[in-house]
Every structure is written in structure tokens, then in C-alpha cells.
Amino acid sequence: MLQRYLPILQWLKHYDRTALSSDVVAALIVTIMLIPQSLAYALLAGLPAQVGLYASILPLVAYALFGSSRTLAVGPVAVVSLMTAAAIAQLGLTQLNDVIAAAMVLALLSGLILIVMGLLRLGMLANFLSHPVISGFITASGLLIAASQLRHILGIEAEGHTLLSIGHSLLANVPQLHIPTLLLGSGALFFLLAVRRYLKPWLQQLGVNPSLADMLSKAGPVMAVIVTTALTWGLGLEQQGVSVVGLVPAGLPQLSVPHFDAALWQQLALAAVLISVVGFVESVSVAQTLAAKRRQRIDPNQELLGLGSANVASAVSGGLPVTGGFSRSVVNFDAGAQTPAAGAFTAVGIAIATLLLTPLMYFLPKATLAATIIVAVLSLVDLEALGRTWRYSRSDFAAMFATLLLTLLVGVEVGIGSGVVLSVLLLLYRTSKPHYAVVGRVAGTEHFRNVERVQVETDARLLTLRVDESLYFANARYLEDLITEKVAANPAIEHLILMCPAVNGIDASALESLEAINQRLQDSGVRLHLSEVKGPVMDQLKRSHFLQQLSGQVFMSQYDAWCALRAPD
């Protein structure tokens, strides 16, 4: 039982020096990457820079205890930080302490929601958020994040939480453009873009090991931070109006439980649910991808507990909502991390930086952090997915485009909320009109195929209808109407066979429809038969009176039904 809920007990007993050295090296690399990211994502969430550091210490330790992924790196991420900013902005808070307290409450609520879901084994609920919806939401979030950071690059005041409001605010304040900030921010932006695109292949041409070249290219934000901070300090750019991070309090965060305020908790409840779901989906997607590369597995329900405990740890240590980040997890994986201990070692590195390096961050330009965020989120934007989805599925495209548009024009909460609703509605729509096929026998075989696709043998007295979907309340009436239409169109039919290889379940509504179909067919002189019914479905039917009332038979295979019912040669 303990090993089930504490995965650390499974890998710790096999922990050796090799794993230790690999984890320490990976932790060092991730720490270097995580420091500027933590500062940047805290500012993106509308919080002081140190909050990002606080959210990168205890949460990593908590995940190391409860998480099932060996390489997932937990901490602040762009999309969750944007959702945090949007949720807190709706509260209309003016005091910084109140804003920080709201972020802590949001982290605590998200953590508790995730833990409850994990204890109830509800990891499968994330499947209701379809990939097109997630893709549309993340692309829109990336565009929103990039647009929101342009004010720091331009050195002007701007506000808004939709693309239109941000764009209008930016245009209105363009006359206040600050040239030194623009030069510094755009320089950092172009440097980071160049490093990301060209540094790795250039280093490889020089003979540098590919893995080392990859690590150095990912360390570009650290170099940008060092150089721009030195320039700001050396040239006195703060006195010229360049906005800097300012004083970052040294020392570890004080532990405290967020104050219970029923009204505040109620206002943040919906945002906490959405942050929990989005964070979980993003985290599990990354964790599963990396685990598959090493033939490992993760437990989605345990991931709920791991992420939930990480968010609770963030809340009690003055942080913001966290989840598994894609870029830092890939770096952690490539750097050779073997166990979640790498995350704990990263937490130690962040703690040391919080204790010793914060005075050096005073002159760090906010424009540099904005450039770091913009470059990071550009990888989230995938507008080409719209074209791919359009060509493959119009309904999926509609869900993706609607989610993208609503997120950009209305807000992140409405966007992702609408995406969830659209995902469920699309599922109901698709299954409410299940695919079916009238099938016949492929000559000389025991195979049966769609009469409209393959040349097959048929019998005028037999109608075989293959239903390619489970039967439930949403499609039960459709099946009734379909069978009535088919039988009415062919008076010669004496036997109707429902071929059920794809039927994985029949609910009570569908059972009533089958009983009605059986009675109507019997009244019209047509016998109803079933073929290829799966074992669990047969078990369901045996618990009802349907099989006793069935006018026909249940056949093991469609070939058996064909041989028994077709007209003699």
C-alpha cells in the first residue's frame, strides 16, 4: 500500500552511485535553466519574481516523493501562469500581498482537487479534453502570452487579457515607446532566437558532442540574463528608465497555510478546476512521452497525487500553481536524469540561488525575462495544426478553431471551458449517429464486408446490419429509426441480423430500444437475430428478459448466421 502511494519506495531501494551522479548532473543543468524561467513565469502571473523561485523548491521535493515519472520536471509553466494571472485579475485586487495570497489559494485549491481526483482514480477524466481542443488552447495561450510580453520589450504600459484588449492597449501607448528598453529587449529576443536555431548546429560543425551542444543551446536564457544584467548595471540603464526586477528578497520562503476566506475560495474554484485539468493533461502528455522512450510507464492516477502534492507544497511555501513543464522535462531527460531525485536536487540548487544569488538579480531587466517567455512560448504555437485538422476532420477543426478563437477574444477560462464542453458535445454527436454498414459475404470466405465497398454475396431474405458503436441513450433512437427505414424499404426481408463486433456496451435506454425493435419486427413478420456479441455484452443481456423475448437467435459468428438463415441453393 505504501509503495502504491509513495513511488519513492520503489526506486530508492535500487538507488546507486551511477543514478546519483546522473541525477546530480541533470539537476545542475535544469537548475541553470529553471532560475530565469521561474522569475519570468512569476512576472507573467502578475506576481513578484521571488514567488517563481519559491514555487520551484518544495513542489519539486513533493513530486519526488509522490510522482511516478522518473524524468518529469515540475515548476511554474507558461500556460498555467497565464491562467493564474487571468483568474487573479478578475478579483480586482490592488494590494500586492492580497495578490500573492490569492495565488497561494489557487495553488492550494488546485492541489486539493488533483489529490481528490487521484484518490478517486479519476485520471481517465482528462481523456474528455480532446487533443484538437488542447492544441487550440495551447496555441492561443502562446499567442496571448507573447502579446502580453510585448509591453516589456517596448517599455510601455499596456494591459488586457484578450488579444484585442492587449493589442488596443499596445497601440494606444506606442507614442511612449522607450528606446533603451526596446534595444535591450529586442537584442535579447533576437539573441535567444538565434541561439535556439543556430547555436547547436554551429557547435556540432565545430566538433562539439551533440548532447553537449544541445545543452549549451538551451542555456541561452542564462547567458542573456547575465549579459543584459551586466549592461544594465554598467551603463546605469535603470536611471534611464529601463524597468528592472529590483530587490528580490533573499532567504527561503516562510511556511504558512493560506487563509481560509470562503468568498475568495468560491471565486477561484472554477479557475482552480481548469488549471488542475490543463496542468494535468500537459504534465501527463510529457511524462508518457518521455517514459515510453525508456520503456517505462507512469500511473496517471499517481500523477494526480504527485502534482496535487506539488501544488499544496507550493501553496504553503508562498508559490503559485505548478505542473510538469515540457522544455525543462526534456532537458532533464536528455541530461540523463534517472529518478525523481533529480528534481529534489534541483530544488536544492534553487534554494541555494534564493539564498545567495538574489542580490545579483536586482538589475535584471524585465525586458530580458519577457524575451525569455516569448521565445519559450513560440514553441507552443502550432498554427499549421489548423490546416492538418481541417483536412482530416471538419468537426475536430471546429472544436480547435472555436477554442482558439474564444481563448484569444474572450479569455483563457472561457476558451478552455468551451473546449471541454465542445469535446463532450462532439463525442455525443459522433456516437449519436453511429457508423453502420449493410454487409454481405465475400465469396468463398467467412468474411463479411460493406456492400457499398466490396463486391459481396447477399440474400434478399436477409439484412445484416453491422453497428460500429456501443449502444447507449444518445444513439438508441437513431438505431430504431434506421432499422425501421431499412425494413420498410425492402418488403422481402424475413431476417434482420444485428452484427455487433464493435458493440462494447448496451445501456438501459438502448436495451429498451432493442426490445421495441424486436417487437416491431416480430409484428411485421421479421425475426431479429444477433451475431458476434462480445462476452461482457452477453453477460449484460442475460441479466435482462431480452434474450427470452428475442424472436430470433444469437449466433457466435456472422458466418454461422449466414449458413443458418440464407435461402437454400
Q: pLDDT, tens digit, for every residue of 232-251? A: 999 999 999 999 998 888 88
Answer yes or no: do 289 and 402 share one domain. yes
Domain boundary residue, one of 426, 447, 472: 426
Please tell me the least confidently modeled range out of 63-72, 160-169, 208-217, 493-502.
208-217
Average pLDDT over residues 405-410: 92
Domain boundary residue, one of 373, 391, 426: 426
Answer yes or no: do 303 and 404 share one domain. yes
Answer yes or no: do 457 and 409 share one domain. no
- What distance in Å separates the CA atoms of residue 523 and residue 490, rounded to the nearest whole number? 16
> 557 is written with which cell numbers?
459468428
Contact 499, 471 (CB under 8 A): no
**For residue 515, what pLDDT is reported?**
95
> 68 is written with which cell numbers?
511516478
CA 196: distance to chain centroid? 24
What domain range includes position 14?
2-426
Answer yes or no: do 126 and 210 share one domain. yes
Answer yes or no: do 390 and 452 share one domain. no
**For residue 127, what pLDDT is reported?**
67
> 345 is written with which cell numbers?
536536487
Query: Locate cell 511516478: which residue?
Result: 68
Contact 99, 250 (CB under 8 A): no
Query: Locate cell 537548475: which residue?
Result: 31
- What distance in Å separates the CA atoms of residue 32 and residue 165, rounded to the nearest whole number? 35
Average pLDDT over residues 105-112: 97
Q: Could you write out the DSSP letters of every residue in 484-531?
A: HHHHHT-TT--EEEEE-TT---B-HHHHHHHHHHHHHHHHTT-EEEEE
The strand pairing partners of 287, in sequence order, are none
Answer yes or no: do 403 and 440 share one domain. no
Greater model confidence, 123 or 74: 74
**Percentage, residues of the chain above pLDDT 70:** 99
Please tell me the least confidently modeled range out of 54-63, 154-163, 205-214, 396-405.
205-214
Please tell me the least confidently modeled range out of 108-112, 133-137, 459-463, 535-539.
133-137
Greater model confidence, 5 or 63: 63
For the whole model, what pTM was predicted? Answer: 0.80
pLDDT tens readout for residues 309-351: 999 999 999 999 999 988 788 888 877 889 999 999 999 999 9
Answer yes or no: do 401 and 482 share one domain. no
Beta carbons within 10 angstroms of residue 569's beta carbon: 3
Contact 127, 293 (CB under 8 A): no
pLDDT tens readout for residues 275-307: 998 899 888 888 888 888 887 788 889 999 999
Which are the contacts of 397, defined by CB distance < 8 A and separation ≥ 6? 132, 386, 389, 390
How many domains are there within the chain? 2
**For residue 10, what pLDDT is reported?**
81
Per-residue pLDDT for 125 more than 80?
no
In a domain, 431, yes or no: no
Nearest to residue 405, comparing CAs of 133, 78, 80, 127?
133
Q: Give the long-range contacts of residues 109-112, CB within 8 A, separation 24 or more.
A: 109/265, 109/268, 109/269, 109/272, 110/272, 110/275, 110/276, 110/279, 110/308, 110/311, 110/321, 111/307, 111/308, 111/309, 111/310, 111/311, 111/312, 111/313, 111/314, 111/315, 112/308, 112/312
In a domain, 262, yes or no: yes
- What distance in Å separates the CA atoms of residue 328 and residue 59, rounded to the nearest whole number? 15
- What distance in Å separates the CA atoms of residue 448 and residue 247, rounded to the nearest whole number? 75
The three-class DSSP label of residue 153 is helix
The three-class DSSP label of residue 305 is helix
Per-residue pLDDT for 79 more than 80?
yes
CA distance readout (Å), 83 to 279, 392, 480: 10, 30, 45
In a domain, 451, yes or no: yes
Nearest to residue 321, comparing CAs of 5, 47, 7?
47
In a domain, 513, yes or no: yes
* 554 CB-contact burial (10 Å; exposed 0-12 / middle 13-18 / buried 19+): middle
- What distance in Å separates the CA atoms of residue 488 and residue 494, rounded to the nearest whole number? 12
pLDDT tens readout for residues 421-467: 887 888 788 888 889 999 999 999 999 999 999 999 999 999 999 99
Answer yes or no: do 440 and 421 share one domain. no
Answer yes or no: do 114 and 12 share one domain. yes
Average pLDDT over residues 55-69: 93
**For residue 363, what pLDDT is reported?**
93
**In this structure, which amino acid lies at residue 419?**
G
In a domain, 62, yes or no: yes
Residue 485 pLDDT grade (very low, low, confident, very high; cuts 50, 70, 90)? very high
**For residue 220, what pLDDT is reported?**
82
CA 74: distance to chain centroid? 14
254 phi, psi to nearest 5 deg: -85, 135
The three-class DSSP label of residue 351 is helix
Strand residue runs (E) in 335-386: none
Answer yes or no: do 272 and 301 share one domain. yes
In a domain, 101, yes or no: yes
- What distance in Å separates the CA atoms of residue 246 and residue 43, rounded to the nearest whole number? 12
Nearest to residue 227, comparing CAs of 355, 352, 363, 356?
363
Q: Could you write out the DSSP letters of every residue in 397-459?
A: HHHHHHHHHHHHHT-HHHHHHHHHHHHHHHHHHHHHS--EEEEEEPTTSS-EEETTTS--B--
In a domain, 295, yes or no: yes
The strand pairing partners of 471, in sequence order, are 506
Q: How far apart are the first and last CA of the chain?
A: 65
Answer yes or no: do 88 and 175 share one domain. yes
**For residue 160, what pLDDT is reported?**
82
**For residue 100, what pLDDT is reported?**
95
**For residue 569, what pLDDT is reported?**
57
The three-class DSSP label of residue 37 is helix
In a domain, 179, yes or no: yes
**Percentage, residues of the chain above pLDDT 90:** 61
Query: Locate cell 532566437: which residue?
Result: 193
Q: Average pLDDT of the chain?
A: 90
504: CATH = 3.30.750.24
Query: Locate cell 453491422: which residue?
Result: 466
Answer yes or no: do 422 and 449 share one domain. no
**For residue 394, what pLDDT is reported?**
86
**For residue 128, what pLDDT is reported?**
67
The three-class DSSP label of residue 464 is strand
**For residue 319, what pLDDT is reported?**
95
Domain boundary residue, one of 402, 426, 450: 426
